[in-house]
Amino acid sequence: MKIIIQIPCHNEERTLPLTIRDLPTALDGVDRIELQVIDDGSTDATAEVAARLGVDYLVRFKQNKGLAAAFEAGMRNALSEGADILVNTDADNQYVGADIVRLVEPILAGSADIVVGCRPIDDHQEFSFLKKKLQKLGSWVLRKASRTSVRDAASGFRAYRREALMHLNIFSEFSYTMETLIGAGYHNLKIESVDIRVNPKTRDSRLFKNLFHYLWKSATTIVNIFLIYRSSPFFSVISAFLLGAGVLLAGRFLYKVWYQTADPNQFWPTVILAGILLLASFFVYLTGVLSWLIAANRKMLEDILYRTKRVEEGQKRLQCLVEGLPPKGEGLMETDP
């Protein structure tokens, strides 16, 4: 059983030592724990600090690509290096490293594919009243969009079973946290939430400029990812709404003319609007059908990608059996993967 603890970084030379210092080096039921740092185009000495601290894998970008790209690169490398579980934590030492044991326990027990560490939102002293309410609202929206029961959708303190990683694909350029949950719900992966602790804040967030910027980016990300995975119901609802409005207006026109013998010339605006709504409903429905066909094609492509990953995994295991396992500590230095 091998766990890789992943730390995406951007200019974290000051906080990275604190984060690594608190990470566990051994866990019951785990044979090996290795560290992986993704240097997302840092302009300080983050990479040098990571190397000095002896991390096992160092993935580097020449320029900043964002948290989603950093997570995806780390996910690919963790799969390549044979991780059975990937744990992701933040480089600002927000989460208590010792609580990693809480994250991996459900996966080791076989009861979960993904485990999300839930921060104490109500008791979080550094969260304002507004931010607490918005965090809860965002998690509720994400639960509805992903059809999961996760309690803290924005938490980046998570553990992923290898099989779950092989099903996940990242499209967002903002953050992976919401997209992976929607994707996990789409693939019917088992997600559990566990309570975790947080450390005092070491710096302000670099993911967003302010709360409203975060809300805007999060909302657009949820909508975009929802349309990728569940676009057909979205267009069906809009089509039904337009159809209902058009039928009501057309019915009103017919009622006035046939039963109240009103002058039809008085209702031309209503007739035109009803026609526009009915025509729009038809085209939106066709868009929904097209989106369903695209979704079916994407599902087949994802299945092919999943099977390709399994084949590559089998080839690497066969190579390991033939050549022997590489010794621990031969870290990967990869630039712009």
The pLDDT tens digits of the residues spanning 197-234 come to: 988 876 666 555 666 666 676 677 667 666 766 777 77
CATH class of residue range 2-227+325-335: alpha beta
Domain ranges of the chain: 2-227+325-335, 230-319
With 0-12 CB in 10 A as exposed, 13-18 as middle and 19+ as buried, what is 161?
Answer: buried
User: Amino acid letter at 314?
Assistant: G
Low-confidence winner among 65-74, 97-106, 122-131, 287-296 (lowest mean pLDDT): 122-131
Look at residue 13 in the predicted model and tell me its pLDDT: 92
The pLDDT of residue 294: 73
> Is 90 exceeded by the pLDDT of residue 159?
yes
- Predicted pLDDT of residue 126: 62
Q: Is 296 exposed, middle or buried (0-12, 13-18, 19+ CB in 10 A)?
A: exposed
Quote the CA–CA distance of 178 and 186 in Å, as a whole number: 12
Question: Which residue matches tokens 């009501």?
Answer: 248
Q: Over 50: is that where the pLDDT of 44 sits?
A: yes
CA distance 8 to 50: 11
Dihedral class, residue 147 (left if φ above 0, else alpha if ψ from -120 to 50, else beta): left
Q: Which of 13-17, 100-104, 157-161, 172-176 shows the lowest mean pLDDT across its residues?
A: 172-176
Percent of the chain topping pLDDT 70:
79
For residue 287, what pLDDT band results from cuts at 50, 70 and 90?
Answer: confident
pLDDT of 133 above 50: yes
Residues in the chain: 337
∠ CA 65-294-276 to the nearest 5 degrees?
A: 110
pLDDT at 57: 94
Q: How far apart are the two ends of the chain, measured CA to CA in Å?
A: 26
- What does the pLDDT read at residue 121? 73
Q: For 237-277, what is each residue's pLDDT tens digit?
A: 889 999 999 999 888 888 887 777 777 777 778 888 989 99
Chain mean pLDDT for the chain: 82
Q: Scan for tokens 């990608």, then name that residue.
A: 305
Residue 95 DSSP code = B
Higher pLDDT, 266 or 111: 111
Q: Which residue would you say has higher pLDDT here, 22 or 133?
A: 22
